[in-house]
Amino acid sequence: MARIRPARRGRAPVSRTVSTDAQGHTTGWATTGLGTGVVDRPDPTAAAFFDIDNTMMQGASIYWFARGLAARRYFTTGDLARFAWQQMRFRVLAREHAGDMSQAREAALAFVEGWRVDDIERLTEEIFDELMAPRIWAGSRALAAAHLTAGQRVWLVSAAPVEIGRVIARRLGLTGAIGTVAEIRDGAYTGRLAGELMHGPAKAEAVGQLASVEGLDLSRCTAYSDSANDIPMLSAVGHAAAVNPDSALRAEARTRGWEIHDFRTGRRAARIAIPSTVAAGLLIGAVTAGRAVHRRWRGR
């Protein structure tokens, strides 16, 4: 486990934590600290962890990323429609077979095989400004800002590729991101995962590892999510909150006395389900459209 922590006095600590194999290739989850500006009284043992999809942002970040790629003609609207259909289909399957992620893991990041990491990050920067920024929940951003003002660090924790989470965190002025890590060699993706999907219990494990490395007291930390799939992460901290919760998480939150924040107005979550998904749907669905992306990318 390698760690770099170039923190400055008066600033929220900045960190990068990765696991690597003997050849130095990335093999595990990662976080990238980005700095959050000067605070009067840093609170080094407390932090907040936010899920991204439907918690920090309306819909799924990787869906909006796919929309942005379609607009740039990396693939067709037909590919995008199949992508959305696969998301809905595997959302249901993931709920019915929550413990079986093998199919999702096998297919997860095949569509990025051969893509350069810097190209993905550049495109994510552009697509965030165009499609993601308008869909950030103002209420969730305010919650994150309150933690930052209190001198606490704030991380995003998502099944989305860590590169996407890192861009979103940087744009929002947060500390960093924990996400699904793709294997990288010579600056390009191999199309395979390094470690497990950042989903369900894996999020709780990653948060626990980060707390150990950064000296956090989990009993003083807070976690936010919209999905019952994140109950392990929510249970791992001292303070949990359901944000725009699905029905299962809402029921669990009421039973446990967790805070509930619902920033949706008008149409409810069921009516925005197409861009909303859990890790299995996101990653399996990406294969259908992503292979077309890959073909078009190679042809450029």
pLDDT string in tens for the chain (300-residue length): 333 222 333 333 333 444 433 334 333 444 554 444 556 689 999 999 999 999 999 988 888 888 888 888 876 666 666 656 655 554 544 444 444 455 555 455 666 778 888 988 899 999 999 999 999 999 999 999 999 999 999 999 998 889 899 999 999 999 999 998 888 999 998 878 887 788 889 999 999 999 999 999 999 999 999 999 999 999 999 999 999 999 999 999 999 999 999 999 744 443 333 344 443 344 434 444 444 445 555 555
In 10 A of CB 234, how many CB atoms? 26
Measured distance CA(300)–CA(149) in Å, rounded: 46
In the prediction, which pLDDT does 230 show? 95
Q: Hey, what long-range contacts does 267-273 have (CB within 8 A, 24 or more apart)?
A: 269/54, 269/226, 269/244, 272/58, 272/59, 273/88, 273/91
- Given this model, what pLDDT does residue 66 score? 81
Which position among 21, 51, 119, 217 bears the catalytic label? 51
Please report, for residues 12, 53, 141, the alpha-carbon distance to residue 45 in angstroms, rounded to integers and kept in the order given.
11, 26, 21
Tell me phi and psi for residue 163, to 5 degrees. -65, -40
Q: What is the pLDDT of residue 157?
A: 97
Q: Is 260 helix (H, G, I), strand (E, B) or coil?
A: strand
Q: Are strands 47-50 and 222-225 parallel, antiparallel or unpaired?
A: parallel
The pTM of this model reads 0.77
Q: Tokens 């600290």 map to which residue?
A: 33
The span from the CA of 75 to the CA of 270, in Å, is 27
**Do 104 and 90 touch, CB atoms closer than 8 A?**
yes
149 token code pair: 């003002």
Detail the DSSP E strand segments found in the chain: 2-4, 16-18, 30-32, 47-50, 153-161, 176-180, 182-185, 188-193, 222-225, 239-243, 259-261
**For residue 206, which of 228, 185, 223 has the smallest C-alpha distance?**
223
Do residues 144 and 220 make contact, with C-beta atoms less than 8 angstroms apart?
Answer: no
Q: Are 294 and 79 in contact (CB under 8 A)?
A: no
Catalytic choice (21, 40, 43, 53): 53
Q: Would residue 53 show up in a list of annotated catalytic residues for this protein? A: yes
The answer to whether the beta carbons of residues 199 and 159 sit under 8 Å apart is: yes
| Torsional sign, CA 146, 147, 153, 157 | negative
For 214, the token pair is 């950064």
- Mark 72-85 as b/e (b = at least 16 C-beta within 10 Å): eebbeeebbebbbe
**For position 267, what pLDDT does the model report?**
47
Q: Are 220 and 45 within 8 A, CB to CB?
A: yes
Q: Catalytic annotation on 186?
A: no
Structural contact between residues 282 and 63, judged by C-beta atoms closer than 8 angstroms = yes
